[in-house]
Amino acid sequence: MTPSAAAAAERVARESYGRLVARLAWQWRDLAAAEDALSEAFAAALRQWPEQGVPDAPEAWLAAAAQRRLLHHARHTRLTQDPRVTAVLGDDEPAAPEPADVPDARLRLMFVCAHPALAAHVHAPLMLQAVLGLDAQTIASAFLVSPSAMAQRLVRAKARIRETGLRFETPEARELPGRLAAVLEAIYAAYTLGRQGPDTPAGDLREEALFLARLVVQLLPAQAEAQGLLALLLHAEARRAAQFDSDGRFVPLAAQDPATWNAELIGQAEAALWAAARLRQPGPFQIEAAIQSAHAQRRATGQTPWRAIAQLYAVLVQQHPSLGARTGHAVALAEAGDAAAAMAVLDGLPSEDVAAYAPYWVARAHVLRLAQAPGRAEALQRAIGLTDDPRLRDFLASQGG
């Protein structure tokens, strides 16, 4: 394959997969069939583009190829006799979707993936695969389960869609709040995966996630958790440029120069957080955003209010006792001067839950350093072994002295 053909296929896959599968799934009312057809279209591109040249409109080429495959399958199985199918088929193959229609189509598909007929624990992972094109292994890392377990969940979900004949219809307005939590969870997971860097299987999804978060707020402005998630992502975006120095070396939050944080994005984050507070609908994303807002105070005061952050984490753990929240609580307690309480939190976490959770071992090494207690080197080595990003591994290795 020529480099230009491979690069074009990779670019279209990265930029257009979600748009294409959302449109195809919506038209054909079959998510699995849409994904299969699009996969075959990409395979055809990899065969034909090196010989015939990259088309002027690669996305339209892929859409047409996938449509041909779906139409062939429909004819083969006599589905074209079904008026629900023939209604969306014409004699001409459809053009690529217009950019203005893309966000609505993708968000509609995300809400469909949160259908109550599907198991709740698969809603967000299904969105990440169907809308953002991530594989089971990548998705599994965001939800702290094994790749095989995640793959089984996704297969069962798609089988359930086929068995129940789940209709790809936009939920009614009254149904959206009940499905919103899963959509927000998927957007947050996409952003988190995107922070691992552009060279990972997820690519850099941060801009994509932030765009979707803004869109959800526009569609559901009275939902406080949507505002809270937007505030959380904006605070993270505000510090993106400070995460690595000019040589590409990782810079932890405590060592970042607050003057390099994006003041405009911080202002937008604070506005979203206040908008959420006025709605008086407390939730975990709002608390996480408040924690990041507290960190942002260092830009004005030069100090990080660790006691306040530890208190916020305590509330978060009470409402949403995730592994990440409890680990963050321990770090905040240690930074606030209570290393003994921090170690008690870390020691109280189930060993099977933290065995492969890199942030726990990073936190443990940090707390042990603050407590001047033994075991730090071993914890640091565990953290390095569990960290995929080479930039973070290099940073952790540099802390071994």
Per-residue pLDDT at 374 exceeds 80: yes
Higher pLDDT, 208 or 31: 208
Is the Cβ–Cβ distance between 31 and 158 less than 8 Å? yes
Q: What is the mean pLDDT of the chain?
A: 85
3-state SS string for 125-186: HHHHHHCCCCCHHHHHHHHCCCHHHHHHHHHHHHHHHHHHCCCCCCCCHHHHHHHHHHHHHH
Mean pLDDT, to the nearest integer, of 296-317? 96
Closest CA to 308 of 335, 277, 268, 282: 335
Per-residue pLDDT reduced to its tens digit, 105-161: 778 888 888 988 899 999 999 999 888 778 888 899 889 899 999 999 998 988 888
The token pair at 209 is: 């996630």
Mean pLDDT, to the nearest integer, of 203-212? 83
Mark residue 53 as left, alpha or beta (left: phi above 0; alpha: psi -120 to 50; beta: remaining). Answer: left
- In angstroms, the CA 122 to CA 380 distance is 33
pLDDT of residue 90: 42
- In angstroms, the CA 347 to CA 331 distance is 13
Beta strands in 13-135 (DSSP E): none
Angle at 74 between CA 71 and CA 78, to 5 degrees: 140
Weakest-pLDDT range from 25-34, 184-193, 259-268: 25-34
- In angstroms, the CA 272 to CA 393 distance is 34
pLDDT of residue 151: 92
Weakest-pLDDT range from 86-90, 197-201, 225-229, 242-246: 86-90
Per-residue pLDDT at 187 exceeds 50: yes
Per-residue pLDDT reduced to its tens digit, 260-283: 999 999 999 999 999 999 999 999
CA distances from 54 to 8, 18, 59 (A): 7, 20, 11
Closest CA to 332 of 312, 303, 350, 347: 312
Weakest-pLDDT range from 147-161, 162-176, 208-222: 162-176
Residue 79: pLDDT band (50, 70, 90) is: very low
Mean pLDDT, to the nearest integer, of 343-348? 97
Residues of the chain with pLDDT > 70, as a percent, come to: 85
CA 109 centroid distance within chain: 15
- In angstroms, the CA 288 to CA 225 distance is 11
Residue 43: pLDDT band (50, 70, 90) is: confident
pLDDT of residue 47: 82
- In angstroms, the CA 314 to CA 331 distance is 12
Per-residue pLDDT at 319 exceeds 50: yes
Supply the pTM of this predicted model.
0.79
pLDDT of residue 52: 81
Higher pLDDT, 266 or 173: 266
Report which listed range, 21-35, 88-102, 162-176, 372-386, is most confident: 372-386
Per-residue pLDDT at 250 exceeds 90: yes
Closest CA to 304 of 251, 258, 372: 258
CA 36 centroid distance within chain: 23
Phi, psi of 244 (to 5 degrees): -135, 145
Is the Cβ–Cβ distance between 367 and 346 less than 8 Å? yes
Closest CA to 12 of 53, 47, 62: 62
Per-residue pLDDT reduced to its tens digit, 331-342: 999 999 999 999
Closest CA to 27 of 76, 77, 78, 96: 96
Residue 48: pLDDT band (50, 70, 90) is: confident
- In angstroms, the CA 28 to CA 167 distance is 10
- In angstroms, the CA 91 to CA 339 distance is 70
Mean pLDDT, to the nearest integer, of 308-321? 96
- In angstroms, the CA 128 to CA 124 distance is 6
- In angstroms, the CA 108 to CA 122 distance is 17
pLDDT of residue 91: 41
Residues of the chain with pLDDT > 90, as a percent, come to: 55
- In angstroms, the CA 33 to CA 377 distance is 50
Q: Which residues pair with 250 in a beta bridge?
A: 244
pLDDT of residue 360: 97
Closest CA to 27 of 78, 117, 95, 76: 95
- In angstroms, the CA 217 to CA 224 distance is 9
Per-residue pLDDT at 200 exceeds 80: no
